[in-house]
């Protein structure tokens, strides 16, 4: 039996993880479930799964959580510090599905505890990749990628023979505007941007997919997860989202992982690793799919990917600045304060005007994040519609 902690249990990744666990209850014991503000969701999940501890980040909801779980064996605690403590409760395996920089301290604590960490928190590696991977190495922790692209690479990669890798190719769906002319993209609305053709995702990540920033952030993650060097990392647009990523070896062999666009597939791979487990996901019917298309990304229409590549090449604090400025820009677009094409322009201006040294600690990363958000917020008025 594997003991499990899920940080961000009420989100889509957390619930997908619990769906798999519920179908295999005899294989898993739940140590802790956490949520930041979704008290109703946490109460429902804690009642159903009976973890040892349920943690709500917003302490204003703690009394309600305690009342709801009174008479059970579930310990109810609250506060951001309690989420960090939950990450170090000694579970064999932890799902890190907290969105944003709020996940940095818990992920670091789990790595320092030497756990298996299934990583769905982009910010951990985008903003603090060198710190996180060094902590994993130093404490003997295992990082397992949950993003479908990185999980696909992990499945195709012979990690102990990286010298035989010619290139790693991340696939991008191209988002809803892949075939739109530039003038039409210029007037794109938030509703159009979040209407992803293949995946069911939250608003922010859907906009990132539409700008291709999401693929840029994943490129930065891949750099830290798979140390083959920037020059051996590529992106190709694959609109069907069936091939999730590829690894090419020096002999010309190109290995790809294919599957339905369902996050339970990569989650299950990390949950059962190094074994495999059944999922309820629809089987991939290649005959029904009919064709697999690939094309190079258009950096002229989608400059966010170029910004991410430049931030990765420059290194230091640039990826953290990129991530923070993008979050502010996307939120402003979703609030109809700036246009779709303004997202990348705003991020580019923040990157050009703010260049601190490489962060040496999580505190330093969080300070860089705060400064970049302030800089981006100050620029919103320049683009306001």
Q: What is the CATH number of the domain that holds 56?
A: 3.40.50.720
Mean pLDDT of 251-280: 95
pLDDT of 184 above 90: yes
d(CA 203, CA 251): 41
- Considering the domain architecture, whether residues 140 and 168 belong to the same structural domain is answered as no
pLDDT at 44: 98
CB 169 within 8 A of CB 235: yes
- Considering the domain architecture, whether residues 179 and 235 belong to the same structural domain is answered as yes
d(CA 117, CA 93): 6
pLDDT at 357: 82
- Considering the domain architecture, whether residues 117 and 159 belong to the same structural domain is answered as no
pLDDT of 122 above 90: no
d(CA 235, CA 319): 17
pLDDT of 197 above 80: no
The strands making up 116-119's β-sheet, listed across from edge to edge, are 75-78, 53-56, 28-35, 2-7, 93-96, 116-119, 142-145
pLDDT of 199 above 80: no
CB 222 within 8 A of CB 247: no
pTM of the model: 0.93
Q: Domain ends where: 145, 160, 195?
A: 145
Would residue 238 count as lying in a domain? yes
Host domain of residue 237: 148-261+292-300
Tally of structural domains, the chain: 3
Looking at per-residue confidence, does 101 or 166 come out higher? 166
User: Residue 254's closest CA among 236, 239, 270?
Assistant: 236
* Counts for the chain of helices (H) and strands (E), in that order: 17, 11
pLDDT of 99 above 90: no
pLDDT at 270: 97
pLDDT of 70 above 80: yes
pLDDT of 385 above 70: no
- Considering the domain architecture, whether residues 13 and 79 belong to the same structural domain is answered as yes
Looking at per-residue confidence, does 219 or 356 come out higher? 219
Q: What percent of the chain has pLDDT over 70?
A: 99
- 323: burial class by Cβ within 10 Å (0-12, 13-18, 19+)? buried
* Half-sphere exposure of residue 121: CA atoms within 13 angstroms, side-chain side: 30
* 270-313 confidence digits (pLDDT tens): 999 999 999 999 999 999 999 999 999 999 999 999 999 999 99
pLDDT band, residue 35 (cuts 50/70/90): very high
The helix (H) or strand (E) run that includes residue 7 is strand 2-7
Would residue 276 count as lying in a domain? no
Range with lowest mean pLDDT among 25-29, 65-69, 161-165, 249-253 = 161-165
d(CA 305, CA 298): 9
CB 339 within 8 A of CB 383: yes
Name the E strands within 39-190: 53-56, 75-78, 93-96, 116-119, 142-145, 165-172
Mean pLDDT of 109-138: 95
- Considering the domain architecture, whether residues 197 and 139 belong to the same structural domain is answered as no
- Considering the domain architecture, whether residues 39 and 160 belong to the same structural domain is answered as no
pLDDT band, residue 97 (cuts 50/70/90): very high
- The 3-state DSSP class for residue 163 equals helix
- Considering the domain architecture, whether residues 15 and 57 belong to the same structural domain is answered as yes
Backbone phi and psi for residue 11, each to the nearest 5 degrees, phi listed first: -80, 180
Long-range CB contacts (within 8 A, 24+) of 305-309: 305/212, 305/213, 305/215, 305/216, 305/219, 305/235, 306/216, 307/213, 307/216, 307/344, 307/347, 307/348, 307/351, 308/213, 308/215, 308/216, 308/217, 308/219, 308/220, 309/216, 309/219
pLDDT of 119 above 80: yes
């Amino acid at each position: 039996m594997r003991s499990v902690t899920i940080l961000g249990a009420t989100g889509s990744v957390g619930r997908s993880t619990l769906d798999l666990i519920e179908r295999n209850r005899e294989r898993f014991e739940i140590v802790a479930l956490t949520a930041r503000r979704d008290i109703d969701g946490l109460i429902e999940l804690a009642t159903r799964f009976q973890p040892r501890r349920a943690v709500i980040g917003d302490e204003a909801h703690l009394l309600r959580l305690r009342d709801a779980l009174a008479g059970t064996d579930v310990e109810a605690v609250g506060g951001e510090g309690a989420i960090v403590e939950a990450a170090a409760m000694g579970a064999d395996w932890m799902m890190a599905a907290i969105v944003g920089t709020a996940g940095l301290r818990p992920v670091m604590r789990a790595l320092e505890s030497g756990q298996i960490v299934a990583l769905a928190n982009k910010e951990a590696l985008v903003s603090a990749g060198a710190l996180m991977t060094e902590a994993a190495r130093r404490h003997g922790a295992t990082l397992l990628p949950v993003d479908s692209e990185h999980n696909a690479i992990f499945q195709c990669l012979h990690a102990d023979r990286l010298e035989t890798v010619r290139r790693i190719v991340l696939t991008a769906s191209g988002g809803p505007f892949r075939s739109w002319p530039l003038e039409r993209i210029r007037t794109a609305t938030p509703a159009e941007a979040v209407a992803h053709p293949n995946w069911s995702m939250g608003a922010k990540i859907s906009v990132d997919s539409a700008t291709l920033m999401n693929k840029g952030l994943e490129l930065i993650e891949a750099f830290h997860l798979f140390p083959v060097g920037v020059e051996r990392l590529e992106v190709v647009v694959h609109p069907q989202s069936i091939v999730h990523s590829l690894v090419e070896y020096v002999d010309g062999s190109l290995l790809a992982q294919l599957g339905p666009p369902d996050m339970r597939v990569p989650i299950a791979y990390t949950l059962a690793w190094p074994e495999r487990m059944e999922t309820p996901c629809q089987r991939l019917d290649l005959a029904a799919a009919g064709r697999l298309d690939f094309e190079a990304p258009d950096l002229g229409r989608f400059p966010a990917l170029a910004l991410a590549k430049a931030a990765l090449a420059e290194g230091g604090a640039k990826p953290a600045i990129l991530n923070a400025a993008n979050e502010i820009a996307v939120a402003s677009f979703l609030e109809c304060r700036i246009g779709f094409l303004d997202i990348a322009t705003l991020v580019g201006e923040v990157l050009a005007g703010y260049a601190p040294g490489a962060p040496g600690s999580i505190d330093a990363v969080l300070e860089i994040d705060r400064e970049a958000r302030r800089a981006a917020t100050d620029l919103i008025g320049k683009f306001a519609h």
